[in-house]
C-alpha cells in the first residue's frame, strides 16, 4: 500500500461513516449548522483576500470534502473546482452542490494535480486539509500549486504555524504543525512567498485545544521546473493506529450516546474495533454501551471476540466473566419470575 492508497482508504472510511463529522467535528450535527460553518469559513477567506479577487477568477479547492466551503463561494466566482483524495467525499459533494453547475468536483490521487494544465487557476485555497498530510505530500502540493497557478494568482492557505509537530507518515488525520521558518523555506523552494508576514500564535496540536485556523495569502514569485518524481517515505506500518482517528471515533460515539442515538454509537464503536482491533478500550467501550442498552448477549459476544483476539488481556477476561455472571443471574431471575407467573395463573385457574 502506498501513501495515496492509504489516504484513500482512511478518508473513504471516514466519509462513509459520517462525512459531516469528519469535515467539521464541531459543526456536524445538522445540515444547517454545517452549512453555516461553511459560510463562516468562506467569509474568512474573502476577508483575508481583502477585496483582491475578481468574479472571473477560476478557483481550486484542494481537499474540498463534500463542498462545505465551495457552496457559499459559488456566488462569488464564475468557475470553481474542488478536488479530494476520497471518492466517497466526492460522491457526496455531487448532492451537496447539485444546484451549482459551475462548481465541479473530482477525485484525485491526493499527491498531485495532474488533471490540470499549467496556469489554469487564479485562486487556489485549502482549509483544514494540508495539516493532515505527511510533509512530503504537502511539499509536492506546493510544487503543483506553483505549476497550476497563474503568475498573478494567489494561494490562500490554512496551516497550523507554530512549534514543530509531526506524526507518522501513515497517520492520515493527525495534525502536523510547521514552524514559521520551515514554512517560509518550503514556500521559497517552490517559488512561492507570503504576501504579508504571518502573525503567528502558539499552535496546539491537542485536539481538545483550538488551533490556528487563519488563512494566509501567498503569491507566486517565479515558476519552478516541474518535477513530478516523489521519493515517498515508504509506509512502514500502514495499519498503525492514529491516536486522533481513534479519539474522534470515540468522541462521535460518545456524542451519539449522550444525544440518545445509542445504535449509531454502537455502529461507530463496532467499526472502530473492526478497524483497530488492538484498541482494547474501544472493545470495552462497545461492550459498556451494549450493556447500557440491555443488549447483554451482544456485549458477551463482543467480549468473547476480544478475549479470542487478545487472550492475555486480563481486564477483558474479567469483564467477560462479569457479563456471563450477569446473564446467569438474569436467566435465573427470569426463570423464577416465569415460575411465579405460571403459579399465579394456575392458582387463579383452580381457585
Ligand atoms: C477535515 S476535511 C476538510 C474538508 C474541506 N476542506 C472543508 O473545510 O470543508 C479534510 C478533507 O481533505 C481530504 N484530503 C485528505 N488528504 C488529502 C489529500 N492528500 N489530497 C486531497 N484531499 C485530501 C479529505 O478526504 C477530506 O475531505
CATH code of the domain containing 322:
1.25.40.10
Ligand 1 geometric centre to CA of 130 (Å): 8
**Residue 227: Cβ within 10 Å count:** 10
Give a yes or no: residue 193 inside a domain: yes
Range of the domain at 319: 244-335
pLDDT tens-digit profile of 289-340? 999 999 999 999 999 999 999 999 999 999 999 999 888 887 776 666 655 6
Are residues 120 and 84 both part of a single domain?
A: yes
CA-wise closest residue to 226 among 147, 136, 153, 155: 147
Are residues 61 and 138 both part of a single domain?
A: yes
Element (H, E) at 279: none
**Residue 152: Cβ within 10 Å count:** 10
Does residue 10 surpass a pLDDT of 80? yes
- Ligand 1 near 218 CB (within 6 A): no
- Ligand 1 near 89 CB (within 6 A): yes
Nearest CA to ligand 1 atom 12: 63
Are residues 116 and 65 both part of a single domain?
A: yes
What grid cell was written down for 79? Answer: 468557475
> Which residue from 85, 131, 138, 171 has its CB within 8 A of the most atoms of ligand 1, so it is best to mutate?
85
Does residue 351 surpass a pLDDT of 60? no
Give a yes or no: residue 302 inside a domain: yes
Are residues 184 and 76 both part of a single domain?
A: yes
Are residues 255 and 216 both part of a single domain?
A: no
- Ligand 1 near 65 CB (within 6 A): yes
Paired strand residues for 106: 83
Are residues 271 and 197 both part of a single domain?
A: no
Does residue 203 surpass a pLDDT of 80? no
pLDDT tens-digit profile of 94-127? 999 999 999 999 999 999 999 999 999 999 999 9
Strand order across the 79-84 sheet: 103-107, 79-84, 58-62, 121-126, 149-158, 215-220, 192-194
Nearest CA to ligand 1 atom 18: 110
Nearest CA to ligand 1 atom 11: 63
Are residues 52 and 167 both part of a single domain?
A: yes
Are residues 261 and 211 both part of a single domain?
A: no
- Ligand 1 near 11 CB (within 6 A): yes
Amino acid at each position: 500500500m502506498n501513501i495515496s492508497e492509504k489516504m484513500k482508504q482512511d478518508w473513504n472510511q471516514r466519509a462513509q461513516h459520517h462525512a459531516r463529522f469528519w469535515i467539521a467535528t464541531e459543526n456536524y450535527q445538522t445540515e444547517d449548522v454545517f452549512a453555516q460553518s461553511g459560510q463562516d469559513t468562506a467569509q474568512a477567506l474573502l476577508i483575508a483576500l481583502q477585496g483582491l479577487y475578481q468574479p472571473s477568477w477560476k478557483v481550486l479547492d484542494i481537499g474540498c470534502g463534500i463542498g462545505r466551503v465551495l457552496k457559499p463561494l459559488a456566488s462569488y466566482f464564475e468557475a470553481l473546482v474542488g478536488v479530494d483524495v476520497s471518492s466517497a467525499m466526492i460522491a457526496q459533494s455531487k448532492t451537496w452542490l447539485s444546484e451549482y453547475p459551475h462548481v465541479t468536483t473530482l477525485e484525485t490521487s491526493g499527491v498531485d494535480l495532474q488533471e490540470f494544465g499549467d496556469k489554469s487557476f487564479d485562486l487556489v485555497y485549502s482549509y483544514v486539509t494540508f495539516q493532515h498530510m505527511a510533509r512530503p505530500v504537502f511539499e509536492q502540493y506546493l510544487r503543483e500549486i506553483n505549476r497550476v497557478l497563474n503568475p498573478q494568482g494567489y494561494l490562500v492557505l490554512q496551516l497550523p504555524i507554530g512549534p514543530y509537530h509531526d506524526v507518522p507518515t501513515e497517520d492520515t488525520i493527525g495534525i502536523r504543525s510547521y514552524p514559521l521558518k520551515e514554512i517560509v523555506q518550503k514556500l521559497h523552494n517552490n517559488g512561492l512567498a507570503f504576501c504579508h508576514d504571518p502573525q503567528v500564535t502558539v499552535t496546539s496540536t491537542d485536539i481538545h485545544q483550538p488551533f490556528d485556523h487563519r488563512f494566509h495569502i501567498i503569491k507566486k514569485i517565479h515558476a519552478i521546473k516541474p518535477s513530478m518524481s516523489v521519493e515517498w517515505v515508504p509506509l512502514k506500518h500502514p495499519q498503525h493506529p492514529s491516536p486522533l482517528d481513534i479519539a474522534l471515533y470515540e468522541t462521535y460515539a460518545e456524542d451519539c450516546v449522550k444525544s440518545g442515538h445509542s445504535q449509531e454509537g454502537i455502529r461507530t464503536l463496532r467499526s472502530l474495533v473492526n478497524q483497530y482491533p488492538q484498541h482494547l478500550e474501544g472493545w470495552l467501550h462497545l461492550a459498556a454501551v451494549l450493556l447500557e442498552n440491555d443488549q447483554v448477549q451482544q456485549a458477551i459476544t463482543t467480549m468473547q471476540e476480544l478475549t479470542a483476539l487478545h487472550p492475555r488481556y486480563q481486564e477483558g477476561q474479567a469483564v467477560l466473566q462479569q457479563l456471563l455472571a450477569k446473564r446467569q443471574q438474569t436467566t435465573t431471575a427470569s426463570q423464577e419470575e416465569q415460575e411465579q407467573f405460571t403459579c399465579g395463573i394456575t392458582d387463579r385457574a383452580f381457585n
